[in-house]
Structure 1
């Protein structure tokens, strides 16, 4: 069955692009932005009646995909996109031939006054990306992939397999021994979990070396927060190994990653899986609060153990003339985890969800071009 594309109207300013998708009563709208393209899909009433519609656009130049958004209204869907570098584009798409369903939005159309548009030299492999790959596959028998893409694919696959192993072992043990297996969770999968959690520090290095976008601080704090719980609160306190809360926190962490890594793999392969995208940006809603509660319980249970053993506590007198109260630190950590920590994490994920899955139905916004 042929792919149905809706009518799409576009306009621009020197800094932005506006796309208006002619779909009424749209449901399940997804817009997946990359620096060079957008993949859109939704169900709604378009030129061919009520159907599933989708389209892919490869832009003339780079866009700021991190700040691209879209809004679903009753009679249309509006995509707001910032150009990476301010400039007037001679056309929207990379290739000179535009899709038949792509139209100019004359109501919003602006031109660059008294300036002749000159096209910069372009790489034919970008203009005809699909055709180039097909030609390369026929000539070589395979498509050459960049080293970093191959590495990221292996990394995400390895991490998925690691978490799948942990969940599988926990599931088999629970099926065999019932609730008795809960207290033996750390004994059976603790070492494997420590290994894959340490491997996650590679995600701090990826943005530093340009393998992924974003700041290294975000993955650093996320991974370090988990490893603080895993190594300092569980591993170094043997009495915590048999606590049921360890079973639950392992399950919650693993379920998050069993969705996240396949989603990253699908993005690397250029495959948009609607259900996987929805799960990636929805499953955190129940799992993140549950994980924060479990982490808080682990910290709370450790406080009397730390008071008893004085572990990590530095008392006076000492050569450095320095004191550190680990119990006080854990209480402050617990307070920060519950109040601002929960808000920051949930609001960050909520913004990502709105960007990927849409903000829902909202009031019509008036857009003004420069």
Structure 2
């Protein structure tokens, strides 16, 4: 989990932290950074840091309240790492240090192991899960970039007339990438990503409800200008997640996958890159785009109500074999009510909390943190 506060970036993982910032030291203004690989797992979801005028404090908690014989994974601690004895805690039974379980040196000495692979193989072997996620994110980036590019070129060529033709030109491509997003529901189930599968399921299903039932099934909606706008807003939201970073790749990385996939935001997270601007955009651009997207979705549902009243599409009336009834018009009215009132509040409040967690709460809301 990457945190970004006042130009400083801390990238927390369950086993490490990577910190970088620009500051004024003994040699003037310089870029400072360090990496720590911890002895055991930490709670990277709750880890955070605060920047004050004269110091930077990181609050990192252990995932399990167990005794650690040392802070870092390797027996040799960095020469610059000092002990704050005012906050030092001791273990009553020091015999636990003698019973330390065997450790994987490939993880404790990850940098040295990767350097050895580069020397012997010419590249670093990546885990299958990581390679899959890189290609998945690259495919999604290309898909949404295609949609935005086609819509932009057509608008530049034909002007306002292209707005009514957006669905005929990019509708199939948009349906493909939206269906592909259901893979993000599967990722948490298989342990590829963290979090609950319910959140991406409801997000993807909500969009697909609008795309397939409200637009695809009603030909009269295809030429509506609101379809162009909702495609544009959805695509921009997703492109920010996969947007290309202008920074150049690190010179010491020789893996070809790095050159292919190192720029987009999620790929930068997979590869441990520190891109503060992308992080800020990822958790800020939703402020104008989400309300506009909700308004466009509401307009699409509202415009479909008279069409469904006319065609009785998706409506189940009595009598029938199942002896049930379903009024699609009533369902859309309830959906519209829930989308505008509690739906907007829940989405915006969730994103606001997530933004505060990722980017920090500002100087006025900083808390004095203590080492754990």
Q: Per the shorter chain, which TM-score range?
A: 0.7 to 0.9
**Cα displacement (A) at 1:286:** 1.3
Question: 1:137-185: CA deviations, max 9, x gaps?
Answer: 2112222111111111111111111111111100110110011101100
**Cα displacement (A) at 1:95:** 2.0
Gaps of 5+ in 1: 1-16, 23-27
Question: 1:245-271: CA deviations, max 9, x gaps?
Answer: 111111111111112192111112222
Gaps of 5+ in 2: 242-262
Aligned ranges for residues 122-161 of structure 1 at < 5 Å? 122-161=103-142
**Secondary structure at 1:41's aligned position in 2?**
strand
| More moved, 244-253 vs 96-105 | 96-105
Q: What corresponds to 2:67 in structure 1?
A: 88
| More moved, 357-366 vs 156-165 | 357-366
Q: What corresponds to 1:325 in structure 2?
A: 327
**Cα displacement (A) at 1:50:** 5.0
Query: Are the structure 2 counterparts of residues 20 and 296 from structure 1 closer, same or farther at C-alpha, using a change threshold of 3 Å?
Result: closer
Picking from 306, 309, 318, the partner of 2:308 is 306
Query: Are the structure 2 counterparts of residues 289 and 201 from structure 1 closer, same or farther at C-alpha, using a change threshold of 3 Å?
Result: same
**Secondary structure at 2:123's aligned position in 1?**
coil
The CA RMSD over aligned residues, in Å, is 2.8
Question: 1:1-55: CA deviations, max 9, x gaps?
Answer: xxxxxxxxxxxxxxxx999999xxxxx2332211111222334455655544332
Q: Count matched residues.
A: 349
| More moved, 275-284 vs 231-240 | 275-284
Q: Normalising to structure 2: TM-score of the pair?
A: 0.86
Q: Distance in 2 between matches of 1:117 and 1:329?
A: 62
**Secondary structure at 1:362's aligned position in 2?**
helix
Q: Distance in 2 between matches of 1:18 and 1:203?
A: 20
Query: Are the structure 2 counterparts of residues 160 and 363 from structure 1 closer, same or farther at C-alpha, using a change threshold of 3 Å?
Result: closer
Q: Normalising to structure 1: TM-score of the pair?
A: 0.87
Query: Are the structure 2 counterparts of residues 105 and 350 from structure 1 closer, same or farther at C-alpha, using a change threshold of 3 Å?
Result: farther
Aligned ranges for residues 58-77 of structure 1 at < 5 Å? 58-77=37-56
Query: Are the structure 2 counterparts of residues 104 and 201 from structure 1 closer, same or farther at C-alpha, using a change threshold of 3 Å?
Result: same
**Cα displacement (A) at 1:354:** 2.1
Answer yes or no: is the 8 Å Cα contact 2:59–2:369 preserved in 1: no
| More moved, 106-115 vs 257-266 | 106-115
Query: Are the structure 2 counterparts of residues 35 and 247 from structure 1 closer, same or farther at C-alpha, using a change threshold of 3 Å?
Result: same
Answer yes or no: is the 8 Å Cα contact 1:40–1:55 preserved in 2: yes
Larger strand fraction of residues = 1
Question: 1:291-312: CA deviations, max 9, x gaps?
Answer: 1111111111111111121111
